[in-house]
Amino acid sequence: MGLLSDPNRRRALTNLLTRLNAPICVVCYLAGVMWFMGLAFEPFTLRTYMSENAMGSTMVEEHFPAGERALATGREFAAHKKKVGGMPVNWLVKTMESRGLEVFTQSFTRKLPFPDENKERYLVRGTNVYGILRAPRASRTEALVLTAPCSQGNANNQAVGLLLGLAQYFRSQVYWAKDIIFLVNEHDLIGMQAWLEGYHHTNTTGGDWSPLHGRGGSIQASLSLELSSDVITSLDLVLEGLNGQLPNLDLANLFHAFCQKIGVLCTIQGKLQRNDWESTSGYSHSAQTMMLMVLKQASGRPWGDHGLFLRYHIEAATIRGINSFRQYKTDTTTIGRLLEGMYRKLNNLLERLHQSYFFYLMPSLTRFVSIGYYMPAFGLLAVILLLRALDLWVQLGASAPGTEDGLAEREQDPRFLPLLNKLVISHMTGVALYCLPVMSQEMAVQHFPVSETEAVVLTAIAIYTAGLALPHNTHRLLQGEGTEHGWRVLKLVALLYLAVLLGCTALINFSLGFILALSLVPIAAFITPPLSAAIMVLLSPGCTLLYCVLIFQELQETPVSLQDGWMLFLSVISQGILDHSLYGSLVYPLLALLIYPCWLLLWNILFWK
Amino acid sequence: MAAFRSNIFMLAFFLCGFSVFVTGDVQTNQMNVAETVFIDNVPTTETDASPPSVTEQSQTAEEKRLWEGTEVGTNLADGASDNKVDHVHDTMQATDAPPSPPAKDQTQRFAFDERIWEATNVEINLVEDAPPIRDKEADEADHVLDTMQTQDFPPPSTAKDQFQEELVIKPLHSGDIYASFQFRTQWDTDFLLGSKVSHYRLFPKSLGQVISKFSVRELHISFTQGYWRTMQWGQPFLPSPPGAELWVWFQDTVTDVDLAWKELTNVLSGIFCASLNFIDSTNTVQPSASFKPLGVGNVTDQRFLRYAVLPREIVCTENLTPWKKLLPCGSKAGLAVLMKSEKLFHSSFHSQALHIRPVCKDWQCKSTSWELRQTLNVVFDLHTSGQGKREWSLFKMFSRTLTEACPLASSSKVYVDITDNPQGELFELSPATPLVSQAVVLGDGRTYSVYDLTDHATFGQTHSLNVLLRWRAAESGEMLRPLLHGERYVAGYGLQTGEIHTLVYNNHPYRAFPVLLLDTVPWYLRLYIHTLTVTSKGRDNKPSYIHYQPSKDRLQPHLLEMLIQLPPNSVTEVTVQFERALLKWTEYTPDPNHGFYVGSSVISALVPSVVAMDTNNTQERPLFSSFFPCKEESTYFMRIYTEPLLVNLPTPDFSMPYNVICLTCTVVAVGYGSLYNLLTRTFQVEEPSQGLAKRLANIIRRLRGVPLLT
């Protein structure tokens, strides 16, 4: 710090920074992007390894024999489901009881803020059924959970069948040290949310559920099973949970280890592992896998039923059976053995899973990028904001000594008052964007020929676009504008604000922070009044979302036309709002209340007169 | 815990070292007792002229041989004659008491004979495989002779002691089976009077010395592995919380109770090979109302009570072995042969306990005698132990059958609960037994089939008893819901705060009753006692009595006792919020991410009897007997335990503390210091200082009035 306390050297340093500011920023941006893309390159990443001793060296043997019987149970379940037209609660209770479990039910009611058109539901009533396998000579302090959703239509019947088959098999084993809870949840995540809130007696989102009567202590780990066909070709592991939370990496390692041991094809993001990292296609394969993970994590929504467990510090993942056109098929007995092995290892845990990483990205199932490797990519982007802010600060400081001190002080008020106005107005717009769509849906439906969901989404888009007109309207009301000095101060504030916002976001959810930084940092860094408004709009948060949707579809190898992309974009907005109100996802409020106002501040600079 | 294994031997030596009666550990002590008593018993057959009812050629021969052996023993053991005569006298009184009805007399005599016959069986089994029987027999006799001669036979004692054993088998509605052993040793002596008690017969010496050394009035200790599932299994005969529980009432003569408690826990830790030495002031409380003395006596000052639970204690064979050694017959004979650890620990629930208390000596209760009750409760699982078949036998449960009673026991019985099965429609019990006993257990009249092990006929032709229960119906009827049960859990998420919920269910349809709730919470969960709420049926339920003792960090736990009235057919919810403390880094356990345990809360209640709720009048009963619902007792005492809690505390990452500490310190020192410096100072360009010569020149110039040099 001697460097900074010496005025001469400090001056030299600031001179350097201001003179070379733009090139440095460009280099940083490119370096950040390059670094990020390099993360998918195999030699730069680490191989996964099991950190938890209790799961590593201990050997377990899998003997689950009853795959066929499980499928028969699944068919029986399907028949009862069809007969009842929903969850066959009585049948499930009886079946679980006959397998020697303690069975409990939980009913819940949830009224969505507006109808969910993807899943066609508005007022949701359902019942969760769960059976607890009490471990012998255990004192109900620890539990493991296995869940299977009771989905509509013909999906996931095999999962429930396998769950019941495993319950029966597990019940006759003696080695359990933790209670095992077998849960069949109705209405996927809504049921899961009700069950978890009931289990932990919290109510974060205002649902209405009946209290639980049976518990197994603190839940250590959970797996969620999705299986819709009698045979599968591969198992897909889904890790991304609510708000981009991930389970401990050891859970993924455990899954991978057992897939290797039993000989099941396993994928992550639906992508198989490839061994040709040297080739371009090999690299692009792993880059795609990683990008998919980044996009899913950035969305902040739970990508499987496991996603809600993570809030309660329960390590959870979803295992999804995929049946494609490959030759090599795996039967239910094998999947049962895989799950048995995983549960036996989880049963051996002495402590919660904590040894391995909680923050990581996976370019493939055997490779991971830890937080120490990916954070520099974001850091390189974030440093641009600080450099620009420094530059502005120096410029402002350089112009200030020109005037006399007293004059500068007198100028303080007109300098900061309009700034405050702009801050408040931007944030009011943000609040409007956050509240109005849901609140004004009825009014919108009365006046326009649209459904409630469309009303919400279109209101949101309307408010978003209306925010763009703000600078024109507010200019007239306020005075003391148009100075060179004014926009510089505004930009300085906006830059620092954005840096803090993105920094905090990236700490919690790296992917979201990075994607926002990718689009927002360039405009924040290089915006000056004459900059083209088109670029500004194209890099706004809303458009970023649209690009993400399109890229996501592209990466999933289901490309869509722009028309379909737009429809998807609309449904993504409605899903985002629903995720927030149903499960407490924070992406929508973050975008509406903080990122969008921040972007509006920058937008104001554009129309500075 | 294995470290304590050596402890117990050291301790056994320490306790028994000065005794002349004992050569090795506790086991040999008991076997010696067995031998001497065996000799005592023989003359009773001499006085009783009646021969054994069942006599086969070989058995009589062996009996004769035994007689010879014992005669040698008794003839040579002159020192023992006093005692023997005493005993003979006693039995004479017992058997030939004039006013007793002849039938009873007959059975009693018969019982005595049988027991002796059983006792001889032990000897037979021992020598059976050795061909030169005569020599072996002589050896036996010699051995008896040796013990008699080398060890001073104890002086005649007026103290009477007796030992009873029983096993209750209760088929549960879930298909599981509950086996409860009870061993009761009663001794008319006083450990606390001036004279030191040095002769022990049936009562274990190690415990007797503990009682006298620490002036213990009552001692209750239980080791439990598993949680009693009240909703599936009903009420246990003796409830106990998971882990180890110890509560002790000291005599009011003890001056420093804390010191006595500390030493006592360490001694018991050695006796039972358990981690009881982890009991210290941070987990010991003095409940004001929940734990009253169970024996006679009128001191109820809580200053002399100590209560502690170790919810994390694991119970295994190392705890079972010392517990078994306290029995007069060890695990050599009687019901205790069933206690094979590979089966006992292949169960859903395992609980072993030991209770010492003073009880009335006779109906006048002018003096007290000491009672030692050892209990062992096991529940075998239908699916894992029973292979899913509703068919239970002693062999299936314990992989042993019964062949004899403990020769030292005055009564030895096996009870099978047949209340739900009066006509044998639910299950078939074989071998059939004519004896039936009625008892009121936990407010409910129960019927039991009784197998008297002291009766030779019980064992039948095969010389072994293997009680077999075979179900006729696949389903056993609905269980009456337990009137009282509780559950507990931690609510909330995150590592800062949380909420403990305790739910107490009163399932009685129309009776309200009060319960005492005792909660002990470690100090590192800081209870916000102002958030304590008690609600039943959606309304605030004000406890009529609250005793709260706040915690002191690292010194004492929270103690919360409340008397709550439970409305009929209701759930009462007690909630209290807490904050998780950040421990010092040396205070974490080696496995901090496992979590920290909070012991079970204890719910004690006087519960209305279920007899009144008996609605199915299928049983043939006279009308006059069934009008008033209350049969024997209108209420009964019940204590239940909730599950313990596992709570995660905020835990630092211990994987690389060194790196973290180094890095943090460096950053703080360098970064903070200089940044602070930068922010608080104003920097000014200072003119370069002048040289010394110039300054001197200037001083001179100033004096001269000449313009200064620059």
Give pLDDT, residue A142: 93
Contact: B646, A354; criterion CB under 8 Å = no
Give pLDDT, residue A2: 59
* Best to test chain A binding among B346, B383, B385, B572 (most A CBs inside 10 Å): B383
Contact: A354, B683; criterion CB under 8 Å = no
- Residue B327's identity, in one-letter code, is L
Mean pLDDT, residues A330-341:
92
Are B211 and B191 spatial neighbours (Cβ–Cβ below 8 Å)?
yes
Are A356 and A34 spatial neighbours (Cβ–Cβ below 8 Å)?
no
Q: How does residue B39 score in pLDDT terms, banded at 50, 70 and 90?
A: very low
Cα separation, B689 vs B291, in Å, equals: 85
Are B268 and B221 spatial neighbours (Cβ–Cβ below 8 Å)?
yes
Cα separation, B645 vs B601, in Å, equals: 10
> Given CB atoms, is B474 within the 8 Å cutoff of chain A?
no
Of B232, B349, B387, the CB nearest to A137: B349
Angle at A314 between CA A505 and CA A588, to 5 degrees: 30
> Given CB atoms, is B242 within the 8 Å cutoff of chain A?
yes
Are B350 and B420 spatial neighbours (Cβ–Cβ below 8 Å)?
no
- Give the model confidence (pLDDT) of B631-684 as tens digits: 445 678 889 999 999 999 998 877 666 677 778 888 888 888 777 877 787 777
- Give the model confidence (pLDDT) of A527-544 as tens digits: 877 667 788 888 888 889
Task: Provide the shortest C-alpha distance from residue A105 to chain B (in Å).
Answer: 16
Question: What DSSP character marks residue A448?
Answer: S
- Give the model confidence (pLDDT) of B389-431 as tens digits: 788 888 888 988 888 888 889 999 999 988 877 677 778 888 8
Cα separation, A488 vs A321, in Å, equals: 56
Residue A92 burial class via C-beta count within 10 angstroms: exposed 0-12, middle 13-18, buried 19 and up: buried
Task: Provide the shortest C-alpha distance from residue A198 to chain B (in Å).
Answer: 9
Are A369 and A45 spatial neighbours (Cβ–Cβ below 8 Å)?
yes
* Highest-scoring range by mean pLDDT, A534-548, B442-456, B589-603: B589-603
Return phi, psi of residue A39, to 5°.
Answer: -60, -25
Kindly report the number of other CB atoms within 10 A of residue A34's CB atom.
Answer: 11
| Residue found under tokens 């030991």 | B354
Q: What is the CATH number of domain B484-647?
A: 2.60.40.740
Return phi, psi of residue B535, to 5°.
Answer: -125, 140
Cα separation, B106 vs B607, in Å, equals: 42
Under DSSP, is residue A361 helix (H, G, I), strand (E, B) or coil? strand
Angle at B456 between CA B451 and CA B458, to 5 degrees: 30
- Residue B498's identity, in one-letter code, is G
Return phi, psi of residue B506, to 5°.
Answer: -110, 110
Of B519, B507, B506, B612, nearest to B565 (Cα)? B506
Cα separation, A127 vs A105, in Å, equals: 7
- Look up residue A171 and give its two tokens: 């019940």
| Residue found under tokens 């994928």 | A267
Residue B26 has pLDDT above 80, yes or no: no
Looking at this predicted complex, what is its ipTM? 0.88
**Chain A, nearest residue to B655 by Cα:** A355
Residue B18 has pLDDT above 60, yes or no: no
Cα separation, B348 vs B385, in Å, equals: 9
**Residue boundaries of the structural domains of chain B:** 2-43+55-149, 182-409, 484-647, 658-710
Q: Helices H, strands E: what count in chain B? A: 15, 26
- Give the model confidence (pLDDT) of A468-517 as tens digits: 887 766 665 555 556 677 788 888 889 999 999 999 999 999 999 999 99
Residue B63 has pLDDT above 50, yes or no: no
Which DSSP helix (H) or strand (E) runs through A161? Answer: helix A157-171
A311 contacts on B by Cβ (under 8 Å): 493
Of A5, A174, A215, the CB nearest to B678: A5
Of A200, A217, A354, the CB nearest to B643: A217
Helix axes A7-19, A371-399, angle to 10 degrees: 100
Say what the pTM is: 0.82
Are A300 and A244 spatial neighbours (Cβ–Cβ below 8 Å)?
yes
Question: Could you write out the three-class secondary structure of A488-528?
Answer: HHHHHHHHHHHHHHHHHHHHHCHHHHHHHHHHHHHHHHHCC
Are A273 and A365 spatial neighbours (Cβ–Cβ below 8 Å)?
yes
Of B290, B400, B258, B279, nearest to B341 (Cα)? B400
A1 contacts on B by Cβ (under 8 Å): 674-675, 677-678
Return phi, psi of residue A478, to 5°.
Answer: -105, 155
Cα separation, B614 vs B611, in Å, equals: 5
Are A381 and A57 spatial neighbours (Cβ–Cβ below 8 Å)?
no
Q: Which residues pair with A120 in a beta bridge?
A: none
Of B523, B519, B517, nearest to B281 (Cα)? B523
Cα separation, A377 vs A374, in Å, equals: 6
Q: Quick one: how far is CA B458 from the chain centroid?
A: 30
A215-229, A463-477, A593-607, B203-217: range with lowest mean pLDDT: A463-477
Cα separation, A107 vs A207, in Å, equals: 11
As a whole-number percent, the residues of chain A with pLDDT over 90 amount to 48
Cα separation, B635 vs B614, in Å, equals: 15
Of B97, B224, B156, B59, nearest to B600 (Cα)? B224
- Residue B76's identity, in one-letter code, is L
Residue B138 has pLDDT above 80, yes or no: no
A17-21, A30-34, B22-26: range with lowest mean pLDDT: B22-26
Q: Which residues pair with B465 in a beta bridge?
A: B402
